[in-house]
Amino acid sequence: MHVLIGLAGLLVTFMVALSLHRGIRISQSHVPLVDASSDIKLEVALAHLWFEEILAGDRFADMETVWRQLRKADGLARTMLEGGEIQGMSVPALAEEALRARVLTLRETLADLSLITRERWEMREASAAGTALDQHYDSVFDAFLQLANELSGELQNRIALDLGRFRLVQGILIPLCLALTLVMNYAFYRFDRHRSRNIDELHQAHLDLTDEIRQRKRVQKELVRLNRDLDGFVSMASHDLRKPLTPIMGYAEFLQMEYGDRLDEQGMDMLREIEKQAERMEELLEDLLMLSRTGHVKQPETPVCTEGVVHKVLRDLRSSNPELSADVLLEKLPELRIAPTLLEQLFGNLLGNALKYAGSCGPVRLGATETAEGVEFCVEDHGPGIPKAERELIFHPFYRGSSGRHHQGTGVGLATVKKITGLCRGKVWVEETPGGGCTFKLFLPGDNPQHRRDEPA
């Protein structure tokens, strides 16, 4: 009897060991492969989303992220073929020729997707939505998703087959393995439920992500169209509204010259006020046109001498506004790969405001600090300063602020500064100068923020 009990115990132990062996095989072989195939699809989908956002003009995204995600997806596929480790989990090399053939086809399609992505990026000006290149890109992307879904489905079928056999072994062990068998059965049941739930959630997440990509693509196309229409409207409105100003200014000047001796001082003041307001309107329209054109300037291939641009800006400001008499302390400035016209607008607005508001209250200082992340410029004055509640509002078009109402201007200059800074993926803000006044700070990432994001990985 003891021998039979011992044999029965050995049999139960063998069956438990066999059950454990099958469970470990599922965990160490099939599940990591399913996770790897799902991660491949996720990385490519994220790369596709980032790429579409970059084409739509997102300033906080760059092509390096796209290339990194595509390379990561290819690395995962290579690991499935050759074996290795993914996120701390050991992944065995695929042994079945059918699955290996699927993964090889998936890598070839991924290589095609990377190639058409690079081609579309290099020809982005001619690959707008609806073009043949855009449609070819979408077809390659859809083909990749289909292959990835088929691979995930095949791996899940392998898991389902092994799980069926595993449950059969458990059913045989239930009457033999008393308390220990029940505990092990419960543990594996929980393991199976957890894995199945994760796979279902990941599959649903992929479906949701695909829908979100399609929705974002539609929204981005509409946003591009609206921005294009808005720029066209501003340009047309600025041009059409400027036409009536010419005769108004001409008639006011003619009346002053021909009939000035017949008008009293009040009449002459009215004519001068008409001419002054017409000139202000012309200046406002010119600023609006300049704001709408910002961002349509081609960036240079070589760095631009920032100090030379600043000296030119100061000469122009002094020439057109002799009353700007405050001294300017100019520190050493790094070169930037940004169009000189944009730099002139950037520093012309900041220095012009500083000189105008500083008056005789001390010098204006322009300096720069280089860091590993980029360059931070500062334009410091000792004028009346800007209230804390207005330090964000002043970057809105036409907002003059409480101190700006006493000075000539249109309220578009700082809006132009913010738009140029955004195009360069930087930021601009204002702080209080110690001792009174305000300091405008401008951060541009890297020595070449505008050009470097256009370079392929």
pTM for the whole thing?
0.41
| Rounded Cα distance, 248 and 236, in Å | 20
Inside any domain, residue 244: no
Domain boundary among 170, 205, 227: 227
pLDDT tens profile 18-46: 655 555 555 556 677 778 888 888 888 88
User: Strand 364-370 vs strand 374-380: parallel, antiparallel, or unpaired?
Assistant: antiparallel
| Rounded Cα distance, 443 and 422, in Å | 10
Inside any domain, residue 82: yes
201 and 305 together in one domain: no
| Rounded Cα distance, 146 and 443, in Å | 44
Domain boundary among 201, 227, 253: 227
223 and 307 together in one domain: no
Inside any domain, residue 364: yes
174 and 321 together in one domain: no
Distance from the Cα of residue 429 to its chain's centroid? 20
Inside any domain, residue 348: yes
Inside any domain, residue 290: no
CATH number for position 380: 3.30.565.10
| Rounded Cα distance, 453 and 156, in Å | 40
Domain boundary among 203, 227, 251: 227
223 and 314 together in one domain: no
What is the count of structural domains for the chain? 2
pLDDT tens for the chain, 457 residues long, are: 445 455 555 666 666 566 555 555 555 566 777 788 888 888 888 888 888 888 777 656 678 888 888 898 888 888 888 888 776 777 778 878 888 888 899 889 989 989 988 888 888 777 667 788 888 888 988 988 888 888 888 888 877 777 676 666 666 666 666 665 565 556 657 767 888 888 888 888 888 888 889 888 888 777 667 666 666 666 665 666 666 777 787 878 888 888 878 888 888 888 888 877 777 677 666 655 665 655 555 667 788 899 999 998 898 888 877 777 778 888 999 988 888 878 888 898 888 888 887 766 778 999 999 988 889 999 998 888 888 888 888 888 777 666 655 566 667 788 888 888 887 889 999 998 888 888 999 998 875 444 343 433 3
Please give the residue range of the domain that contains residue 351. Answer: 298-452
Inside any domain, residue 9: yes
Tokens for 399?
A: 């907002």
User: Strand 328-330 vs strand 89-91: parallel, antiparallel, or unpaired?
Assistant: unpaired
Concatenate the DSSP letters of all residues of 201-261 into one string.
HHHHHHHHHHHHHHHHHHHHHHHHHHHHHHHHHHHHHHHHHHHHHHHHHHHHHHHHHHHGG
